Amino acid sequence: MTTPDSQENDARWMRLALAEAARASEKGEVPVGAVIVREARVIGRGHNQVEALNDPTAHAEIIAIGAAGGFLNSWRLEGATLYVTLEPCAMCAGAVVLARLKRLVFAATDPKAGACGSVLDVTGNPGLNHRVEIDSGVLAGEAGSLLREFFEKKRRDARVVESGGLENR
């Protein structure tokens, strides 16, 4: 059961994930951020770096999971919680299960590629050998706004390029 105290803690950690998402946006990356917490301590963090690294696997969750594994000197992230601003895709949901994370908390759902209940349910697949507790909707409005603003700007910039620039208007 979610208590007011746990909701407050979830919001606190999600704000750190939102800060990571803002860093991604500043770099022209899709604004998704993630932090991994265990025993009230951040042990991993990441933001999307797909464009910067030319790596389709450089999602915020994958980077945070790798950082947490390095911090713990173990691939098993038992007892840890991943906070991420957008529902993980199939690749990231699979990594969540493989890393043995105890809990996943995400902000906004992803109706196009979400794999934690929206489009697919990788984390809830009964054939897998690990179960992850899922909570969603924590600061979803803030995460959704960040994503909407990012894509609106991308569309505006594309229209300017298509029209030949501002000077031709």
Q: Which residues are catalytic?
A: 61
If DSSP states are collapsed to H, E and C, what string results for the chain?
Answer: CCCHHHHHHHHHHHHHHHHHHHHHHHCCCCCCEEEEEECCEEEEEEECCHHHHCCCCCCHHHHHHHHHHHHHCCCCCCCCEEEEEECCCHHHHHHHHHCCCCEEEEEECCCCCCCECCCCECCCCCCCCCCCEEEECCCHHHHHHHHHHHHHHHHHHHHHHHCCCHHHC
